[in-house]
Amino acid sequence: MTDLMTLDGTPVSRLTFGTMQFGGKADEAESAAMYDAARGVGINHFDTAVRYTEGAAETILGQLIKNERDKIYLATKVGYTGGSGRANILAQFDICRSQLQQDQIDLLYLHRFDDATPLEETFATMAELQSQGLIRQIGVSNYAAWQVMKAQAVARSFGTRIDVMQPMYSLVKRQAEVEIFPMAQDQGIALVPYSPLGGGLLTGKYASGGTGRLTDDPRYAVRYGQGWMHDTADRLTAVARDVGTDPATLAVAWVMSHATRPSPIISARSLAQLRPSLAAADFTMSPALYDEITALSPAPPPATDRLEEA
């Protein structure tokens, strides 16, 4: 597996903090409080993107890390809009560096696959940024396994490689187990999955009438709208009650406990909302509890119809 380290040589933390809420639902003061709390439990891996909250997320994060830059593993993303052509990558990356007030980024992701641009153009550009010392490592987000492998072959032709992948993964979104996780393990690609709480569904708040992304954003309402997902969330809440912890803690710790050792991205709108996810850093997940939680949701079918060989 790819070794991810900060500039001072410290291995990255098992949890990653995502700044999507910085400058949006979380103002500067709340963002700073969450940053300090994350640092307090040892998190040194921070994830952002060029257009999160219209650039405010990068701007706030840049201010927060400026006095300890060498202790932070800084990841950002380009190409969610505009494609993965050379001009767009370079233009958005310049915006990233300006907003973050940083010359070098530890990890630069391609935010999603672009089938309209030749991979040779995309990865020649990424390799150039790497050879210039402007980025240390290359990542991809929201790629299918076959897209990663295709891109990895092209990256190697330029003397580089994909080091990190960011897929969606949670107890109610387990498709990554079928091909993405085995592929990443085979290729030595580090896994940094997003949405370990299933858009907040796995916190249990919606069952009690709470609001959040599932009520505010139609995309999330559809993504997590199936009845079995809500049943799984209810059962996770019951397990959490039995073991004396918060369901969010269990949801994040469950992702961390997968054999591929993912580093899930946690995020929140406030420090109070963040605390249960932070608690996963110190939660000990026994094999029996892991199996119990795993059984709460259906395993995705294997990638073959030859079930007798699966």
Span 200-216, average pLDDT: 87
pLDDT band at 299 (very low <50, low <70, confident <90, very high): very high
Q: Contact at 8 Å (CB) between 78 and 116?
A: no
Q: What percent of the chain has pLDDT over 90?
A: 90
pLDDT tens across 140-149, in order? 999 999 999 9
pLDDT at position 194 over 80: yes
What does the buried/exposed string (b/e) look like for 25-37 if buried means 16 or more CB atoms within 10 Å of the residue's CB?
bbbeebbbbbbeb
The answer, yes or no, to whether residue 275 has pLDDT greater than 80, is yes
Mean pLDDT value of segment 51-62: 97
CA–CA gap between residue 44 and residue 72 (Å, rounded)? 5
Q: Which CATH architecture has domain 1-166?
A: Alpha-Beta Barrel (3.20)
Q: Is 179 helix (H, G, I), strand (E, B) or coil?
A: coil
For the segment 63-100, what is each residue's pLDDT rounded down to a tens digit?
999 999 999 999 999 999 999 999 999 999 999 999 99
